[in-house]
Structure 1
Amino acid sequence: MTPAARGRPRSFDRGAALARAMETFWEHGYESTSMTALTSAMGINSPSLYAAFGSKEQLFREAVALYDATEGASVNRALTEEPTAHAAVATVLRENARAYTTAGRPSGCMIVLAATNCSEPNAAAQEYLAEWRRSGIEDLTRRLDQGVRDGELPAGTDASAVAHFYTAVLQGMSVQARDGASRADLERVADQAMTAWDAVTAQRRRSAPSPPPPTK
């Protein structure tokens, strides 16, 4: 091999490499995933990784976005295409019961599990996933608010509280999947959560507390 050939940048499929990085972060978490593990999984060397993605954190951010666009696509469709808020939430729960336990893929949800307890140098990655989780609650809240406007849910329903409740169910399902729960186990959780629908959506928004009376 000539010196020029040795110095030529190695070509690779960036999209395929990113998908492999996504699965590595998903399975092992941000902080536990070494650069050696990433380059091995992606089939590239460190200079190529830095040239293509900038840094480990930037690679992680791209991997999370890819996860949302691929693994999260069915959930996003449920929120926009199901005719009712009830159907949307039920579909989200059942779709995630399937997705969290798909054979040949890491279990659970990458956005829930991949950066939940990072050390200070990696706090930005932890906060990045926290932002994604908060965004998910906001998306669900908007869908529930639409249900109120459509007359499906009672006026005054605390859509934010309902969204937080069902997000907590989803996050618990993700942890259970990582612990070995089966699809059938998670589907039972989803079905039980939906039996609580009427009680959960009956909760009303809390009014702001009245200011204390002025002192004399």
Structure 2
Amino acid sequence: MRCIPGGRAAALSLILAAGLAGAPAHSADAEVGGVRVPERLAEGGHALVLNGAGLRTRFVVKVYVAALYATEKTGDAAALINSTQPRRMRLQLLRDVDSKSLDGALQDGLRDNTSAQDLAALKEPAQRLSGLMAEIGAAREGDVIDLDFDAQGVAIARNGKRLGRIDDPAFARALLRVWLGDSPAQASLKKALLGN
């Protein structure tokens, strides 16, 4: 074994220590409501970063952990809603939820954050959403529902299995307003999704 002179050995030790310090010993994932929320995701070749995550409760019952991913972090709800870049809303269920309840909550959120005139124009995609929610059937505790938003619309998946798409940019914006609009599903959740 070859000896390294003292000064060089110390320098080598410092370089190695600095390199190890730069490498994370564990991921920077967050934890919300006992659920691990990844700091980064990849979607369609795009790297997405966690914009924010929070807990959706109804009365005192924990319903799901919502995590919003975007190409870059922002606290601007309008920028997230109107972006044409990929975004993902991930819902990890903390209890069993039947598809009618899930769809009902989404439809209520659409009504609460969309003018009557715009809602009438979005009737067909809203019905398509109801159909996709019906395909989910009874969602179980631990299930993950992903809503992937892009410039053309929104795709919906359950536990990584794609259920379908709704190609309507105006509807995609309206759906994202369920969480980020002026009358969100839960004000504290909106704040958390915006990284506050």
Q: TM-score, normalised by structure 2?
A: 0.28
**Higher strand proportion (structure 1 or 2):** 2
Higher helix content, 1 or 2: 1
